[in-house]
């Protein structure tokens, strides 16, 4: 097993994941840690190209099956080019979204069957899983309002209807129920500093526990 630590941030829209990834990475670095902060889809040059196709507001439709395959392609590159080498040198990798986003959005939101999704994820990642998953959870209406308050950052998937986003949130909560020891659920409907302090405290607590690397 790689010596580093792989932390994934997950959640529905508007939970402030990107901000929290940045704050956590900065604090860990000022503590002297070797940190790689990255995101999905993206994190590599080809991944960023795929992100532009997936999330751009171009004049084309993308089927959920196509989304899964594009996301998996970006993920395969990301794991091998960025995440695994960083973990092998002992770095902390903080990733804004990973496989659970596919289970929540394309599985929960779009209703695709989970079984092929799992198979495709295993192929894309080579079996790599996060050591810790933070779910930044908040009510869908609150998250979408925050998101639409910054129109420049609205992407193609944000524009799906509210029931889609509700299914995404429900799917995340179901993933937590199915494997509670893999997750730390954070109330993201709070001020960013409060959310950051909670994440910091929880990360210290989890790392102090010799069983923090959970495989269920
Ligand atoms: P974000 O960077 O604002 O979180 O935007 C990424 C978008 O991509 C978000 O709407 C969720 C979506 N997404 C999926 O639908 N499935 C995935 O597997 C990933 C990584 C992202």
Tokens of 15: 């939970």
Q: What is the pLDDT of residues 91-108, one digit of tens each?
A: 999 999 999 999 999 999
User: Which among 13, 17, 41, 77 is the best mutation to test ligand 1's pocket, defined by most ligand atoms within 8 Å of the CB?
Assistant: 41
| DSSP symbol at 184 | E
What is the CATH superfamily name and number for domain 5-211?
Answer: P-loop containing nucleotide triphosphate hydrolases (3.40.50.300)
pLDDT at 52 over 60: yes
User: What pLDDT is attached to residue 3?
Assistant: 82
Tokens of 118: 């799992």
**Which runs of E-coded beta strand occur in 5-50?**
5-10, 35-39
Q: What is the pLDDT of residues 149-178, one digit of tens each?
A: 988 888 999 899 999 999 999 999 999 999
pLDDT at 215 over 80: no
User: In whole angstroms, what is the distance from residue 172 CA to residue 183 CA?
Assistant: 10
The whole model's pTM is what? 0.95
- CB 75 less than 6 A from any atom of ligand 1: no
**Which runs of E-coded beta strand occur in the chain?**
5-10, 35-39, 92-96, 132-137, 183-187
CA of 173 to the centre of ligand 1 (A): 17
User: Which among 15, 21, 37, 55 is the best mutation to test ligand 1's pocket, defined by most ligand atoms within 8 Å of the CB?
Assistant: 55
User: Which among 154, 134, 131, 117 is positioned nearest to 83, based on CA atoms?
Assistant: 131
User: In whole angstroms, what is the distance from residue 82 CA to residue 45 CA?
Assistant: 11
CB atoms inside a 10 Å sphere around CB 9: 27
Q: What is the pLDDT of residues 182-191, one digit of tens each?
A: 999 999 999 9
């Amino acid at each position: 097993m790689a010596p580093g630590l792989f932390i994934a941030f997950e959640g529905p829209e508007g939970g402030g994941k990107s901000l929290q990834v940045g704050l956590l990475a900065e604090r860990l670095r000022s503590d002297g840690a070797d940190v790689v902060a990255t995101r999905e889809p993206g994190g590599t040059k080809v991944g960023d190209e795929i992100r532009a196709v997936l999330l751009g507001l171009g004049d084309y439709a993308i089927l959920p099956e196509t989304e899964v395959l594009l996301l998996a392609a970006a993920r395969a590159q990301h794991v091998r080019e960025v995440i695994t080498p960083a973990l092998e040198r002992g770095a902390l990798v903080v990733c804004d979204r990973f496989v659970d986003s596919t289970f929540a959005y394309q599985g929960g939101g779009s209703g695709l069957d989970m079984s092929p999704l799992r198979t495709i994820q295993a192929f894309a990642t080579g079996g790599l899983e996060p050591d810790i998953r933070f779910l930044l959870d908040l009510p869908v209406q609150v998250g979408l309002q925050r998101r639409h308050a910054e129109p420049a950052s609205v992407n193609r998937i944000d524009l799906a209807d509210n029931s889609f986003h509700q299914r995404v949130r429900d799917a995340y909560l179901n993933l937590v129920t199915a494997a509670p020891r893999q997750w730390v659920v954070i109330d993201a409907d709070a001020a960013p500093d409060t959310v950051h302090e909670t994440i910091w405290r929880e990360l210290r607590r989890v790392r102090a526990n010799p069983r923090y690397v959970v495989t269920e």
